[in-house]
Chains A and B, each alone.
Chain A
Amino acid sequence: MKKIIFKNKKIITFLTIFTLILLLFLKTSFFKNLINILKFTENERIERIYGYCGGESIGYLKYLKNKYKIKTNPRVLNYEHTPPTNWSIYVAGAKDYNENQLILLNYPGQEIDIKLHHYKYNFYEFKDPRHYSKMFKSLKKIKINDFIEPNIEVEFYIKDGSDKLSMLENIQIVKDQETNDYIMNQNLDVFKFKEKRFFLKFNNLKKEKKIIATLENKYNLNNYKVLDKYKNCYFIE
């Protein structure tokens, strides 16, 4: 009897450890990962994870570094909001940001349209202001669906870390009769966003509307010499 219990205990212990090891293999996706490292080189895996020209575009950055033997730290601007990318080509101790050279990733063109998100009442949120203010110089114009007033008063607010709204500026904007856009030309650099949330209050807007803002790019490719180009990723001087 004692022998049987002992044997059973041994079997249970063996089964437990076997199950746990199996779980660990599954949790770490061992076989999938093993095939991945056997099939692809480190560089290929990096491209598959970070993209070549798209997303973080680390593949393109590494290509530029090898081709142009970059020994400084050019400024890398990614129009897609991703984590920082310059780590992949970083040269320790070299001057941060060689202003002569610039790498633009996922360049969207001279202007882009973004949607303002309704927050409450007549407040609309401009999401991710810090990211946009790095690459776009101004809020050029606003398109408000189903709104016919010839002008509108806009107030700019930021919300600090303690949920308090404070007004930064207010302006009157006038409708362009040809395009139906409200011309704004509001410089973004003056707001110094940091991690704060940014809102626009449209004073004579009664109902929730679909609002599209057009941002004007800081970097016009016509003003630079293009050293290298792949799709919408550029190395310029």
Chain B
Amino acid sequence: MPELIEISYMLLIFLLIGAAPLNIFKSGSNNLYFNLIINLNFLLLFSILPFQIQKYSVYLLFILFLLSIKNYYSFNDKIKTHKHRLILIILTFLLISVQVASELELGWDAKFFWHNKSLFYSQNKTFLELSEYIYNDYHPHFGSYLWAFFRNFSINGYEYVGRLFYVFFYLIGIHFISNNIFKDKIHNAILFIFLIILTEKYTYFSGLQEILIFSTLIFISKFILIFLEERKFIYLFLITLCMNLLIWYKAEGIAYASICFIIINLISNLNLKFRIYFNFLFLFFIFLKSLIYNFFQIKINAQPYFLEYLLKLDLERLTYKLYNIFIYLSFYSLKNIILLLVPIIIILNYKKIFKDEYFRLVFVFFILNIIFIFSAYIFREMDVVFSLSTTIDRIVFSSSGFYLVFLIAQAKNYLSKKFQ
């Protein structure tokens, strides 16, 4: 029973992160998603400052609490009409959280470094001390920081409580893309639960960071879709904030952020002012990260990619690697239905590439994503079979978040044509 109370209490805290500080949109209904992205960027900033979590987290939450009360009263009527959404989130959060609390087991990399990195924050250390940790250079820290930040609110100090935020973030991402697809609320609820059944697995919440990339890519994809419809800069701004989060979760986050950067620049008739602001903001975030890494003397790239290795890569080795990557990628794409459906839909509707802007962007994202996956294994100095067998399922999963919005849009188009 105490653990169920703890899970419910944590949900309230997570909701605070979405309910405050801003009311960007008068409708009130979408603020949860936008605030979540904004607040995560604030937390990212806090994670680098030389303050211990315990010293500021309660105050931070208290301010968010006051702001969310203000927001609640200013949009009272609208919030009441969205109660059913909250019920769905509460129900699914409860189901997955109980699973996390029961299964408990951490993933291999989580045991290797993600959990230890989060302990730096939990044990009153800051980014400065973390930068001296021997495994810190491999990947950034933000996912571990979130783990520690929310674990800090646990009544009984349970480790898994911090990981429940990953569940919350994932659910909000899925909710964001399924909440206004159909006019009927029940149909949206059906879609929401269906998507969870399709994508949920305990291992994604075992302390590994792919779920954060997956969820953030969901947000980016949806923001792109809304931007193409409304052409408001606020969505480009939110995309940039999401890209900033990506580069702080994991080393490969920079690849996904760069792919997003390319596809946004490929949007036709993009307002020049928007283009300049967007490019400047993203490059600023990249520059800021390099500056921080430089200041704390963290290696920008500690992954096993070396120039000497590239130079000695002969045709025989290259063919061997390409063959294995192709086999493993095909097999894991068959296991992950999302990545399997994307090329099928693109091939069946190839004419849309020239007509539909979002379709074209997803097509480019897909091509660049495949190029990234191949390059990541070709240029890595490691046994390629070992490397593929231990990581490709996660790489396939993390990028598939981007395609969910696309699949829903295509399915909706197909259904509306069929029932016209």
Which A residues are closer than 8 A to B by beta carbons?
13, 16-17, 20-21, 23-25, 27-30, 32-34, 36-38, 42, 45-46, 49-50, 83-87, 90-93, 96, 159-164, 195-197
Contact = CB atoms under 8 A, between A and B. Distances in A.
Given A87-B115, A90-B116, A90-B119, A161 B384 contact: yes
8 contacts: A24-B193, A24-B197, A28-B95, A83-B108, A83-B112, A93-B120, A195-B387, A197-B383
Interface stretch (B264-272, B316-324, B391-399): B316-324
Residue in A33, A42, A162, A195 with the greatest tally of chain B CB atoms within 10 Å: A162
Nearest to B4: A37
B123 interface: yes
Interface in B319-347: 320-321
B95 A37 contact: no
Contact of B189 (A17, A25, A87, A197): A17
A90 B147 CA distance: 16
Interface residue range, chain B: 35 or more
Nearest to B134: A96
Contacts of A92: 116, 119-120, 122-123, 125, 129-130, 133
A148 B85 CA distance: 77
Contact of A20 (B95, B105, B184, B190): B190
A28 B316 contact: no
A34 B98 contact: yes
Closest 8 CB pairs of A and B: A162-B317, A33-B102, A92-B120, A36-B102, A20-B193, A92-B123, A92-B119, A161-B383
Interface of B: 1, 3-4, 91-92, 95-96, 98-99, 101-106, 108, 110-112, 115-116, 119-120, 122-123, 125, 129-130, 132-134, 156, 158, 160, 184, 186-187, 189-190, 193-194, 196-197, 200, 313, 316-317, 320-321, 380-384, 386-387
Nearest to B119: A92
A13 B190 contact: yes
A84 B112 contact: yes
A25 B4 CA distance: 16
Contacts of A84: 108, 111-112
A21 to B, nearest CB: 6
Nearest to A20: B193
Given A29-B99, A45-B104, A195-B386, A162 B112 contact: no
A28 B384 CA distance: 33
Contacts, number: 124
Contacts of A38: 1
A195 to B, nearest CB: 5
A136 B95 CA distance: 45
Contacts of B96: 28
A10 to B, nearest CB: 9
Nearest to B91: A21
A21 B317 CA distance: 49
B102 A45 contact: yes
Nearest to A9: B184
A27 B198 CA distance: 10
A28 B383 contact: no
Contacts of A32: 102
B383 A37 contact: no
Contact of B383 (A36, A83, A195): A195
B3 A37 contact: yes
Given A38-B1, A93-B120, A162-B317, A20 B104 contact: no
A38 B3 CA distance: 8
A161 B382 CA distance: 5
A24 B383 contact: no
Contacts of A17: 186, 189-190, 193
A160 B98 CA distance: 43
B95 to A, nearest CB: 5
A96 B116 CA distance: 12
A231 B382 CA distance: 37
B3 to A, nearest CB: 5
Contacts of A24: 92, 95, 193, 196-197, 200
Contacts of A16: 190
Contacts of A30: 95, 98-99
Given A20-B194, A162-B384, A87 B320 contact: no
Contacts of A93: 120, 123, 125, 129, 132
Given A23-B197, A37-B3, A91-B119, 18 more contacts: A17-B189, A20-B197, A21-B193, A24-B95, A27-B200, A30-B95, A30-B98, A33-B99, A42-B101, A42-B156, A49-B104, A83-B111, A84-B108, A92-B116, A93-B120, A160-B383, A161-B321, A164-B316
